[in-house]
Structure 1
Amino acid sequence: MDTRITPLVPLDLKSWIARQLDQVELALDRWVSVDAGADLEHHAPADLMAAMRYAVLDGGKRLRPLLVLAACEAVNSGLKHDYLPIEECDDELARRGVIDPEAATQGSGEAALRAACAVELIHAYSLVHDDMPCMDNDVLRRGKPTVHVQFGQASALLAGDALQALAFELLTPEGSAIASAQQAKLCRLLARAAGCAGMAGGQAIDLASVGLQLTEDQLREMHRLKTGALLQASVMMGAVCAEPMSVARAALHRYGAAIGLAFQVVDDILDVTADSSTLGKTAGKDAEHDKPTYVSLMGLDAARAYAQALHRQALQALADTGLVDTRILQGLADMVVQRSN
């Protein structure tokens, strides 16, 4: 079989991100609605749906959906050793090549889009609950009043609950959009990342750590669960939506772990270096609430150096995947450490 490949198509990361964000926003707008259509059999109370839509739409970096979609494309690009050795190819351009990743994702696009939206719904629900008075008691999120400020605490609690449930409804559609085995894998990855061994567990540690001096290992474990688990799951869910390869899976897992922790380190840095208008949320709240952070533990310069070290770990993990094209995942790793909000 002729496995030669065409030249690597030029990548415009900004254009790729814009295209993916457009489709994610359209899908969220369609699925988080009072009448979501035939594929989702629910008709939610209008007031509850208004709070849900307020929590999800028109805001946020959408990093988690982007990671799902990027990982799916990367795995679909194939493993380098699947192709003929360069000396056996008569096309010199093959040394730089992969097939067009957009063509490669045909057949996995529906699963990836649903997974991308599902992980964003889980993220949105967590923010709604985290901002409530019983948790972080914050009044600003994504540049606008938090959900409990806008709709009241009871509505915010219910909106978060409903968003979590809707995430798993998206992953289990009727028909053949996602194979049953694939549905089970996606649900398990997302449930584990969101539950007591992931995001919820990390938040519990965070609440119990106020005013305490944690060690670096303890702080890393807290953020591995609270922030890193869902980012890591986003990468792995994208791989599942394609054709998961055992060789690439472990390295993708390490990539997700590195950028998950890097995201939180940068968050801690921005909390003391950026203002509320830039962040879209209340700046300086960690220090105000006496929460342990990488800056309070290591100092600002050391925290910045640690973020760069995690970035290097992420890029090395991508190199270790053996995948032909990981440029988008590389670009997203760059964004994580270079972001200003």
Structure 2
Amino acid sequence: MLASTIQEYQLRVDTQLKQRFSTLEDTAPQLKAAMQYGALLGGKRIRPFLVYSVGQMFGVTLEKLDACAAAIECIHAYSLIHDDLPAMDDDALRRGQPTVHIAFDEATAILAGDALQTLAFEIVTEAVPGISSEQHIAMVRALAKASGYRGMCGGQAIDLASTDKQIDLKALTQLHNMKTGALISCAVELALIAANAPKDQYQTMMTFAHAVGLAFQVQDDILDIIATTEELGKPQGSDTESNKSTFPQLLGLQGAKDTAAQLIQEALSALAKLPYNSQLIADFARYIIERRI
């Protein structure tokens, strides 16, 4: 069921993205092509999956969640485009294909990332029946916080400043709670806002989200060691080559695996407190540390 639902939500959010791109005029065709290339290059669509699955668990219709799912994927795509730039991680391969600045050029890649970021906020403010103005404002705030200084961008800045330096576990955890975890947590938060979730259940689900977000990054660090370039869709060992601190480097490979497993157990314990059928989301949490991609 998990695999088929992941695929269903992948197709759904891709359809939503294609619909939004189709409304863009062809005044800057290369920019539009780069945006589409970066956003539709494939990928797991984990953040949209969380928007849809958490929202559904709380009884929200998929139609009410489409804008949030598309918006957060635009933010994620923009972050990957900029992350791959020569001034950042300087990667030439993403999801098994040339990165945007290789397929196009650096200037176009920068603009494509910028345009996807602003498109995300345009999408998340679309009028949706059953979603109030107050909810829209809360969604904008959540997305801005998760993707800006307090979240993804701040985490990336810390990451760049930490290259070629040894940082401790506390600093590494903070880095990835911001760079990776914030946007994963935001996916859950957007669904909770759409659901008008009660405060106690909101807090319980955010505990789940924080644990899953960090576990995702720990597993990414593990896969950078044990997976192949073909499995990853990007160069294997890139973190080591870039001389970045990782969880396996600080904890050892088995220690990192144990940490990821402990985080998922924390997430599952949070889910168990809710009076809903959370089986799909629990299976997804387990998948986070079982995946090879």
TM-score range, shorter chain: over 0.9
Q: TM-score of the superposition, structure 2-length normalised? A: 0.96
2:21 paired residue number? 32
Deviation at 1:213, TM superposition (A): 1.4
Within the candidate set 76, 79, 83, 1:123 is matched to 76
2:275 paired residue number? 323
2:246 corresponds to 1:293 = yes
Mapped to 2, the partners of 1:23 and 1:179 lie a distance apart of: 23
2:290 corresponds to 1:307 = no
Runs of 4 or more above 3 Å deviation: 174-178
Asked if 1 retains the 8 angstrom alpha-carbon contact of 2:208 and 2:271, the reply is yes
Mapped to 2, the partners of 1:111 and 1:218 lie a distance apart of: 37
Within the candidate set 29, 49, 54, 1:46 is matched to 29
Query: CA deviation digits over 1:181-215, x for unaligned, max 9?
Result: 11101111110000000000000000000121111
Mapped to 2, the partners of 1:306 and 1:175 lie a distance apart of: 40
Query: CA deviation digits over 1:111-147, x for unaligned, max 9?
Result: 3111011001000000000000000000000110000
1:60 paired residue number? 43
2:52 paired residue number? 69
Asked if 1 retains the 8 angstrom alpha-carbon contact of 2:177 and 2:213, the reply is yes
Deviation at 1:18, TM superposition (A): 2.5
Q: How does 1:4-15 map to 2 (within 5 A)?
A: 12-15=1-4
SS at match of 2:175: helix
Deviation at 1:58, TM superposition (A): 3.9
2:85 corresponds to 1:132 = yes
Mapped to 2, the partners of 1:262 and 1:175 lie a distance apart of: 33
Asked if 2 retains the 8 angstrom alpha-carbon contact of 1:75 and 1:243, the reply is no
2:157 corresponds to 1:204 = yes
Deviation at 1:275, TM superposition (A): 1.3
2:10 paired residue number? 21
Q: How many aligned positions are there?
A: 293
SS at match of 1:32: helix
2:171 corresponds to 1:218 = yes
SS at match of 1:193: helix
Question: Gaps (5+ residues) in structure 1?
Answer: 1-11, 37-41, 77-104
1:238 counterpart letter in structure 2: A
1:50 counterpart letter in structure 2: A
Q: TM-score of the superposition, structure 1-length normalised? A: 0.83
Mapped to 2, the partners of 1:66 and 1:290 lie a distance apart of: 32
Deviation at 1:51, TM superposition (A): 0.2
Mapped to 1, the partners of 2:187 and 2:128 lie a distance apart of: 24
Query: CA deviation digits over 1:38-78, x for unaligned, max 9?
Result: xxxx65511101000000114000000000111101222xx
Deviation at 1:174, TM superposition (A): 4.4
Which stretch shifts more, 46-55 or 209-218? 209-218
Kindly name which structure, 1 or 2, has the bigger radius of gyration based on alpha carbons.
1
Deviation at 1:177, TM superposition (A): 6.5
SS at match of 2:276: coil
Q: How does 1:221-236 map to 2 (within 5 A)?
A: 221-236=174-189
1:336 paired residue number? 288
2:251 counterpart letter in structure 1: M
SS at match of 1:248: helix
Mapped to 2, the partners of 1:43 and 1:167 lie a distance apart of: 19
Q: How does 1:92-111 map to 2 (within 5 A)?
A: 105-106=60-61, 109-111=62-64
**Structure showing the higher helix proportion among its residues:** 2
Mapped to 1, the partners of 2:139 and 2:263 lie a distance apart of: 26
Mapped to 1, the partners of 2:128 and 2:10 lie a distance apart of: 26
Deviation at 1:306, TM superposition (A): 0.6
